[in-house]
Amino acid sequence: MSEGYGLLKGKKGIIFGALDERSIAWRIALACKREGAEFVLSNAPIALRMGALDALGEETGAPIFPCDVTSDDQIKELVEKTKEHFGGGVDFILHAIGMSPNIRKKKEYTDINYKWYQQSLDISAVSLHRILHHADEGGLLNDGGSVVALSYIGAQRIFSKYSDMNDAKALLESIARNYGSRLAKRGIRVNTVSQAPTKTSAGSGIKGFDGMYTFAEKLAPLGNPSADECADYCLTLFSDLTRKVTMQNLFHDGGFVTNGISEEMMNDLANLYSEGEE
């Protein structure tokens, strides 16, 4: 592991959502370790049964606590176990959780299954509210702490294949703002990082993901950021260098959101058009 800057020395946290080596949360855990943080890892019991997370626990010295984030009881238990483990509260929380049964089971947005729709929202967005509520009530959040949830530009612009996750991310970002305004009195920041398409288990599970990835790669002047680059950005938000940044949705997308069209795309389109004319 390369040497860091000691940005998170003395900080303690919870990292939700590391599933396998490609997971953004996995990369963030490694980067947090590099920067001197201590943390606990959490994922749904069903994800833990796959067993991959054990390797990350061993590599980083972090305990693994199961928690399905749709369950209030399991979140409360996680809060208690984490307090016991650290003998106190945490300074940062990473929410890197997302799942849509409708996308998984290939249900079109206009023919949505409403039970699954509620599950998408519950797992991917309301869970941030639940975690903050129980962490706050259980005295787990230290003053001056920082909470980051991972989002996607589908919250602002519709990507058809992202289906009900567009709605889930819009809700997630709103919850971050709403809670951020309330926790600010204790110096606690709540932000979302809107990451570009990244080749992970959740990402690749979306039909049409390759098209979304290539489109973003071609439009973003800096190209798509990797999961490791996302990790580096999230660290700055957990660190004391960003103490007055809150209630923001921060784009980590190589400039995608602001660019209208790239030279490369313009050339591609011109070529396509001229081929059509021949």
Ligand X SMILES: NC(=O)c1ccc[n+]([C@@H]2O[C@H](COP(=O)([O-])OP(=O)(O)OC[C@H]3O[C@@H](n4cnc5c(N)ncnc54)[C@H](O)[C@@H]3O)[C@@H](O)[C@H]2O)c1
Instruction: Tell me which stretch binds ligand X (CB under 6 A): 19-27, 100-108, 177-185, 258-266.
Output: 19-27
126 binds ligand X (CB under 6 A): no
Among 160, 181, 201, 258, binds ligand X (CB under 6 A): 201
| E strand residue ranges, 61-122 | 64-66, 90-95
Least Cβ distance, residue 78 to ligand X (angstroms): 10
State the Cα–Cα distance between residues 57 and 62, nearest whole angstrom.
Answer: 5
Instruction: Tell me which stretch binds ligand X (CB under 6 A): 95-103, 129-137, 179-187, 214-222.
Output: 95-103
> Contact 100/209 with Cβ under 8 angstroms?
no
Q: Between 6 and 45, whose beta carbon lies closer to ligand X? A: 45
> Contact 110/117 with Cβ under 8 angstroms?
no
> 48-77 b/e with 16+ CB inside 10 Å = b?
beeeebeebeeebebeebbbbbbeeebbbe
Angle among Cα 179, 247, 255 to the nearest 5 degrees reads: 140
Of the residues 117, 152, 179, 213, which is catalytic?
A: 152
249 binds ligand X (CB under 6 A): no
Q: Strand 141-151 and strand 189-195: pairing? A: parallel
C-alpha 105: how far from chain center:
22
> Contact 91/145 with Cβ under 8 angstroms?
yes
Among 8, 96, 131, 220, binds ligand X (CB under 6 A): 96
200 binds ligand X (CB under 6 A): yes
Size of the site for ligand X (CB under 6 A): 26
24 binds ligand X (CB under 6 A): yes
Least Cβ distance, residue 152 to ligand X (angstroms): 4
Q: Contact letters (x/-) for ligand X, 37-66, by CB under 6 A?
A: ------xx--x-------------------
Q: Between 36 and 228, whose beta carbon lies closer to ligand X? A: 228
17 binds ligand X (CB under 6 A): yes
Give, as one character, the DSSP assignment of residue 211.
H
Return the structure tokens found at 241: 């260098």
> Contact 114/59 with Cβ under 8 angstroms?
no
Q: Between 145 and 225, whose beta carbon lies closer to ligand X? A: 225
- Which residue from 53, 29, 41 is spatially nearest to 235, judged by alpha carbons? 29
233 belongs to the catalytic site: no
Q: Which amino acid is at 144?
A: G
Among 142, 198, 239, 248, binds ligand X (CB under 6 A): 198
162 belongs to the catalytic site: yes
150 binds ligand X (CB under 6 A): yes
Could you list the residues that contact ligand X (CB under 6 A)? 17, 19, 23-25, 43-44, 47, 68-70, 96-99, 123, 150-152, 195, 197-198, 200-203
Annotated catalytic residues are 152, 162
